[in-house]
């Protein structure tokens, strides 16, 4: 009897303020197992159920070497597909299978993907603040650490609105004013170029906070400040508006963290309407579809900039880095930074040095997971509030 899958399980934890889901796939070969990321922070219980109650009975007894076969099997087994819960559950298994494959071959996953195109991965960091002066201070801290790509925001997504006239009795929520946010963002970039100069690359994330036509206007207004990219100016439902952005300016565009279905982004790549693909790897199903997406994007001159926030587990970040190392069309990698507890809970995770993230050369993804320590930081089941975004008059808006 050859190698077989003997167990598949989701493990949840919250070590630094984000609910994380790690999938472990065990085999009948002693000591041979794999780890993957299935983190859908805001619906973690649903992913946990999908992994434990549906994917485990589907996969036990099968050969873990057949990654493509198992990906296709998991993708179509529920008939309806390309949803965030299903994709994240599949991703956890898919990454774990690549981890197992690397351990069997005694090779890092980046070698299985074709080998290194670079020794380390350049990253961008996040600099926020209540005012441009504070943003500048935080930018200079990152520059002193060797970081040369920095995403700047003033007051978070949508900014901190003031003097809003909200109707009495309006529901609770995260209120902001698109017009104020628009003006403050343009002012922020003017200030930063004047005071910091042009030797640092700046990004900005609108997080779909503006109406579509105003997003076009923002891209045009920011053109003189030569952004590295402007991120997520339009939701997946409004992708056709990218044609108007291209007609009006040359501001580089990055998009994709909300995408689940390849049909949401294939035309954007084929028509060269975006410059960076920003997918959340677990959201699209793991390493297998991400590698295919990177190759597809390469043909059209689109670069990768995988989503790398705090609500991606360190296992998911490791997967990002292995993909980055092997992709000729790599652009930049988002890096949120981690607490000491993360490095303790996930030994072997990639490390940041002088603006670059380095993977180790261990087989597989090169990362471990301390389950006993994870138990001390249980996941939190509550109502998500930051996505309850509202216009000044109280209307709900896409976050």
Is the pLDDT at 301 greater than 90? The verdict is yes
d(CA 89, CA 40): 9
Fold: same for 5-107 and 112-363: no
Predicted local distance difference test score (pLDDT) of residue 108 = 98
User: Is residue 229's pLDDT more than 80?
Assistant: yes
**Closest C-alpha to 204, from 246, 183, 180, 233:** 233
Please give the Cα distance from 324 to 332 (Å, whole number).
Answer: 8
Candidate from 6-10, 56-60, 365-369, 382-386 with smallest mean pLDDT: 382-386
Distance, CA of 168 to chain centre: 38
Walk across the sheet containing 20-27 and list its strands.
Answer: 5-13, 20-27, 33-37
The confidence band for 158, taking pLDDT boundaries of 50, 70 and 90, is confident
Catalytically annotated residue among 110, 124, 157, 228: 157
Write the Ramachandran bin of 255: left for phi over 0, alpha for psi from -120 to 50, otherwise beta.
beta
Domain boundaries, the chain: 5-107, 112-363
Q: Do β-strands 351-353 and 149-152 pair in parallel, antiparallel, or remain unpaired?
A: unpaired
Phi, psi of 4 (to 5 degrees): -135, 150
d(CA 241, CA 243): 5
pLDDT tens-place string over residues 230-264: 999 999 999 999 999 999 999 999 999 999 999 99
Q: Would residue 381 show up in a list of annotated catalytic residues for this protein?
A: no
Degrees to nearest 5, angle at CA 176 with 399 and 14: 45
- 336 close to 123: Cβ distance less than 8 angstroms: no
Which one from 126, 149, 207, 307 is the annotated catalytic residue?
207
Which two structure tokens, joined as six digits, stand for 174?
Answer: 């995260």
User: Does domain 5-107 correspond to CATH entry 3.40.190.10?
Assistant: no
DSSP conformational letter for 43: G
Q: Say what the pTM is.
A: 0.96
pLDDT tens figures, 41-97? 999 999 999 999 999 999 999 999 999 999 999 999 999 999 999 999 999 999 999
- Decide if 157 is catalytic: yes
The per-residue DSSP string of 256-281 comes to -TT--SGGGTHHHHHTT--SEE---H
DSSP reduced 3-state for 253: strand
Domain 112-363 carries which CATH code? 3.20.20.120
Task: Find, among 91, 93, 32, the residue nearest to 58 by Cα.
Answer: 93
Dist CA 127 CA 134 (whole Å): 9
Q: Kind of pairing, strands 253-255 and 229-231? A: parallel
- Show the CA angle centred on residue 171, arms to residues 168 and 175, nearest 5°: 90
The separation between the first and the last C-alpha atoms of the chain, rounded to the nearest angstrom, is 51
**pLDDT tens figures, 160-210:** 777 888 999 999 988 999 999 999 999 999 999 999 999 999 999 999 999
């Amino acid at each position: 009897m050859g190698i077989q899958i003997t167990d598949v399980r989701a493990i949840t934890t919250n070590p630094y303020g984000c609910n994380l889901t790690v999938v472990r796939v065990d085999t009948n070969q002693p000591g041979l197992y794999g780890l993957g990321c299935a983190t859908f922070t805001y619906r973690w219980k649903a992913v946990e159920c999908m992994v434990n109650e549906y994917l485990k009975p589907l996969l036990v007894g099968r050969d873990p070497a057949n990654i493509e076969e198992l990906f296709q099997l998991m993708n179509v087994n529920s008939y309806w597909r390309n949803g965030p819960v299903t994709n994240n559950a599949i991703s956890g298994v898919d990454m774990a299978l690549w981890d197992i494959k690397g351990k069997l071959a005694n090779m890092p996953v980046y070698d299985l993907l074709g080998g290194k195109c670079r020794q380390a991965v350049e990253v961008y960091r996040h600099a926020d603040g209540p005012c441009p002066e504070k943003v500048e201070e935080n930018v200079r801290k990152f520059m002193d650490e060797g970081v040369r790509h920095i995403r700047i925001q003033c007051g978070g997504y949508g900014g901190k609105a003031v003097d809003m006239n909200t109707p009495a009795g309006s529901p609770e929520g995260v209120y902001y004013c698109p017009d104020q946010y628009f003006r403050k963002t343009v002012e922020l970039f003017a200030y930063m170029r004047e005071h910091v100069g042009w030797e640092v690359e700046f990004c900005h994330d609108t997080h779909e906070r503006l109406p579509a036509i105003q997003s076009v206007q923002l891209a045009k207004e920011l053109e003189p400040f030569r952004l590295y990219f402007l991120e997520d100016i339009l939701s997946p439902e409004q992708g056709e508006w990218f044609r108007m952005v291209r007609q009006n300016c040359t501001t580089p565009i990055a998009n994709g963290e909300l995408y689940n279905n390849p049909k949401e982004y294939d035309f954007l790549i084929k028509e060269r309407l975006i410059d960076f693909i920003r997918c959340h790897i677990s959201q699209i199903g793991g390493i297998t579809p991400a590698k295919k997406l990177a190759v597809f994007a390469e043909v059209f001159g689109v670069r990768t900039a995988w989503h790398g926030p705090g609500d991606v587990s360190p296992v998911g970040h490791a997967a990002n880095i292995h993909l980055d190392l092997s992709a000729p069309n790599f652009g930049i990698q988002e890096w949120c930074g981690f607490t000491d507890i993360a490095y303790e809970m996930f030994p072997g995770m990639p490390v940041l040095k002088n603006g670059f993230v380095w993977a180790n050369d261990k087989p597989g993804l090169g990362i471990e997971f301390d389950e006993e320590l994870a138990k001390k930081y249980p996941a939190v089941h509550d109502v998500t509030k930051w996505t309850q975004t509202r216009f000044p008059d109280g209307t709900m808006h896409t976050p």
